Amino acid sequence: MRGDLERVLFDEPAIHRRLDDMAAQISNDYRDRELTVIAVLHGSLMFVADLLRRIPLPLKLDCLSVASYHGKARSSGNVVSKEITAPDAADRDVLILDDILDSGHTLATIRETLETAKPHSIRVCVLLSKKKQRAREVHTDYVGFEIDDEFVVGYGLDFRERYRNLPYIGVLRRELLEQPDK
């Protein structure tokens, strides 16, 4: 799988060092409060597992599963919720965790949906944010790393459901993005 990458952007130690800082900041910002964490699956799986174990606060965890890519490398803008659980969001401090902010469609849609539950507060935390003009602007409160507008995989992030199990994050070779699905 390493051979499918053009280069590694963040190795395991670099990711974990950044998670230490993010967790410390989140733990400090929410001290004496009880969080509802909403994880956007599947891409955020590794991030959520590693981040939450560094946050020693009482919290509830809920998961949303959405899809807007349908095997392409660009967002279709049509964000489909595959499973909507009913997160305990009313009057709570909600923290949305996602792997990557790209076009903004996913997080803008999720945020709008959660706002209808009248939470006390909503913040957004992403591991990666692409530096680009977004179709929908999304305010982020916590960002792990800002990256260039390239397609990345690993540490939960996939291309056609592959590469999620890589322990590091890297840029996928461009020609693989253009190959027909098999």
Catalytic residues: 102
Binding map of ligand IMP across residues 116-155, x = CB under 6 A, - = no contact: -----------------------------------xxx--
Structure tokens that stand for 138 in this block: 């999304």
Partner whose footprint covers residue 157, from Mg ion, ligand IMP, none (CB < 5 to 8 Å by kind): ligand IMP
Candidate residues 26, 102, 111, 123; the one interacting with ligand IMP per rule CB under 6 A: 102
Of 79, 70, 19, 75, nearest to 49 by C-alpha is 19
Spatial neighbors of 28 by CB under 8 A, at least 6 apart, are: none
Binding map of ligand IMP across residues 56-95, x = CB under 6 A, - = no contact: ------------xx-----x--------------------
Question: Do residues 38 and 57 touch, judged by C-beta distance below 8 A?
Answer: no
Least separation in angstroms between CB 38 and Mg ion: 13
Interaction between residue 166 and ligand IMP (CB under 6 A): no
Alpha carbon distance, N-terminus to C-terminus of the chain? 16
Partner whose footprint covers residue 123, from Mg ion, ligand IMP, none (CB < 5 to 8 Å by kind): none
Q: Whole-angstrom Cα distance, residue 38 to residue 46? A: 14
Interaction between residue 47 and ligand IMP (CB under 6 A): no
Three-state DSSP state, 4: helix
